[in-house]
Structure 1
Amino acid sequence: MLKRILKMKKILVAGATGKQGSATAYELLKNGFEVFALTRNPMSPEAEQLKQAGAQLVKGDLEDVEVLRDTLSKMDGLYLVLPGVWVSSIETDEAEAALGIQTLKLAEEQGVKFVLYSSVMASDKQDLFRPKFKFTIEKYLLESQLQGTVIRPASFMENLILPSFGLGEGKFVNPLPEETAISWVATKDIGTFARIIFQNHNAFNGKIIDFGGEMFTPKQVLKLLEDKLNQKIEFIQVPVEILYQQSETFAKLVEMIAKEGYDPIDYELISSWMPKLTGFDEWLDAEGVDKIKELQAAAN
């Protein structure tokens, strides 16, 4: 029992050079944690920056069972985020669920005290058409002998920089329901909240938390972008029929959002631990506008 109330000190961060992982790693480092950063390429600029900030690099990924087993045996906690898949299918969903559960079993076997798993909003609703996916991993974690918390982040503001949104070409390619407002979040806020959870893991044990900020419809995002960039942007709504041709699972997700929307976020819970989240306009002023202009310059 003593082992379960020890403070968190050594944390393995999966996906440490990605958006969520790096935000979490830097936040933990700034607050006295020993961070072990799992990365396929320790020579990458992102990995080098983590090393300079004080992280210990671990070469490998979640599929490297022996590396993971050895590393987890020394850890107090694990920040688990699975590699992103841009064209999802039943096969990729099943592979992700299997990898997540395999990782949790290793953590359980090696005596890790606490796991923070980053899932996705409405993972439980998606269970109807994605029977083996992130909700499968959530259930395994919360039904296991591990202490753990599930965080379900909203849409990342940083996703707007992805080529698929088309902002580099002066377009806003929108695959989501045009009139449905969804929550947005800056990944640095995910890192901050992750750090808070590790610092207060006993208070968060067993919880599932939807984590996000302001609600915007796609047209409201478009207006905000046009105002900040001081330019007109062409709005392109992707028909759901096209989405079905690209990814049936994503198309069904869009239909689910249009029909049911997301569950309300418990802003009172979030603000009780983290009073201020980054606003969309604040993120655009701080970094978003510059990055979009870089995309536009590269395209010209």
Structure 2
Amino acid sequence: MGDESVLVLGATGQQGGSAAAALKDDGWHVRALVRDPASPKARSLSAAGIETVRGDLADTASVRAAVAGAYGVFSVLPSSGQFVYGVSDADEVRFGNMVADAAMDAGVKHLIYTSSNAAGSRTGIGHFESKSRVEDHIRGLAIDSTIVRPSTFMEILLMPDFGVAQGRLTFFMRPDQAMQFIAVEDIGKIAAKIFADRAAYRGRTFELAGDSVTGNDLAAGFSRMANRTISYRRFPDEVLRDSDFLQRLARAVDEGPLAGAADVDVLRRMHPGLLNFGAWLRGPGRTATETLLADGSG
């Protein structure tokens, strides 16, 4: 690896930050594309020894300048499914295709695109369909690439709207229905493994998960952590009826695409430290979970 560099998009966010940290730990020179190098998150990257370069996905020239000379590119994009980003489905496709084209044109040796476990299936959900279109574009390019499809992040369960702090976790699967999850830090660690062995992983697509758990399993884990009962329920029917978006997500769990189909045993052989839900609760998720539970008990 030595002086070879990997450009990481989204390094101030969860997946990109995980990839940047794991690659740095593995000895790569990491270059992070950031909108504002003076922002607190960008300064934290710099303090960790990660190079930051100014750029914006809406500015193709800035992306091409950042890609120049890189061995690899880790491409994670603002999702059109997260409304805070203000990104449309068409924007996500345009950005994803542009990054891949820039990588190919610059002679990048290895591109990793991080998609979703529901991509490649007909879900009728825009932010999964957009990722499928980017995947298709990448597969048609003359560049070594690997597509990773993370399952739902374990960290998402701590969002206030899902109710853990109030003692009732509400999510998309039925109480006895299994769904796959992954710890965000494992996405970066798996990406680092892939970059380290391009010959083994080029041209491949991986679903990523660290565990397959039911709603009741999640409740039991949080209950042990809280030392009090945390119950579980699926989103009530009336809530799903009132939101076409939530209804489509629940259907994608019921029909399989969003429930996940990763081969966790294969992934654990690839990355022996892969975290299951219990290990995540005791490890990287512990502080945030304890803080959330303490706030709720007050």
Query: TM class by shorter-chain length?
Result: 0.7 to 0.9
Work out whether 1:101 is the aligned partner of 2:97: yes
Worse-matched range after superposition: 21-30 or 91-100: 91-100
Could you tell me how far 1:244 is from its partner in structure 2? 5.4
* Alignment match, 2:121: 125
CA distance in 1, matches of 2:121, 2:216: 25
SS in 2 for 1:125: coil
- Distance in 1 separating the partners of 2:162 and 2:123: 27
* 1:266 Cα offset (Å): 2.6
Instruction: Tell me the residue number matched to 2:209.
Output: 212
Counterpart position of 1:110 = 106
Q: Find 2:35's aligned residue among 14, 19, 40.
A: 40
* Secondary structure of the corresponding residue to residue 264 of structure 1: coil
Matched, 1:251 2:251: no
CA distance in 2, matches of 1:13, 1:54: 14
Displacement of 1:230: 0.6
Give the 5 Å matches for 1:262-281. 262=259, 264-281=261-278
Partner in structure 1 of residue 45 of structure 2:
50
> Does 2:150 match 1:153?
yes
Deviations 1:162-192 (A, max 9, x none): 2222223333122334432111211111111
Unaligned runs of 5+ in 1: 1-5
Counterpart amino acid of 1:83? P
Partners in 2 of 1:30 and 1:192 — Cα distance?
9
Counterpart CA distance in 2 for 1:289 and 1:29 is 24
Query: 1:57: how far off?
Result: 0.6
Contact kept in structure 2, 1:182 and 1:216, CA below 8 Å: yes
Unmatched 5+ stretches in structure 2: none
Question: Are 2:169 and 2:230, in contact at CA under 8 Å, matched by a contact in 1?
Answer: yes
1:95-124 deviation line (CA, Å, top 9, x unaligned): 212221122122222222211011110211
Residue equivalent to 1:70: 65
What is the alpha-carbon distance in structure 2 between the residues aligned to residue 86 and residue 159 of structure 1? 12
Question: 1 CA distance for matches of 2:77 and 2:181?
Answer: 20
CA–CA distance in 2 between the matches of 1:129 and 1:28? Answer: 32
Aligned residue in 1 for 2:283: 286
Residue aligning to 2:227: 230
In the alignment, the residues of structure 1 paired with residue 134 and residue 3 of structure 2 have an alpha-carbon distance, to the nearest angstrom, of 22
Give the SS at the match of 1:108.
helix
Range with bigger deviation, 201-210 or 106-115: 106-115
Is contact 1:17-1:47 (8 Å) kept? yes
Deviation of 1:277 after TM superposition, in Å, equals: 1.1
Distance, in Å, in 1 between the alignment partners of 2:235 and 2:32 is: 37
Are residues 105 and 253 of structure 1, via their aligned partners in 2, closer, same or farther at CA, if it must alter by over 3 Å? same
Aligned-pair identity (%): 28
Q: Which amino acid aligns with 1:174?
A: F
* Contact 1:158/1:186 (<8 A) preserved: yes
Q: Which secondary structure does the structure 2 equivalent of 1:145 belong to? A: coil
Equivalent residue number for residue 3 of structure 1: none
The answer to whether the 8 Å contact 1:97/1:132 transfers is no
Shift of 1:8: 8.8
User: 1:226-277 deviations in whole A, cap 9, x for unaligned?
Assistant: 112111224343135534544x345223213213354532334323322231
RMSD: 2.5
Shift of the 225–129 alpha-carbon distance from structure 1 to 2, 3 Å rule, reads: closer
Residue 11 of structure 1 is aligned with which of 6, 10, 13?
A: 6
TM-score calculated relative to the size of structure 1: 0.87
Give the 3 Å change call, closer, same or farther, for CA 127–108 of structure 1 in structure 2: farther
- 1:221 paired to 2:218: yes
With 216-225 and 108-117 compared, the bigger mean Cα shift is at: 108-117
The DSSP-based 3-state class of the residue aligned with 2:100 is helix
Secondary structure of 1:123 counterpart: coil
Change (3 A) 1:129 1:163: closer
Q: 1:32 to 1:162 in 2, by over 3 A?
A: same
TM-score when normalising by structure 2? 0.88
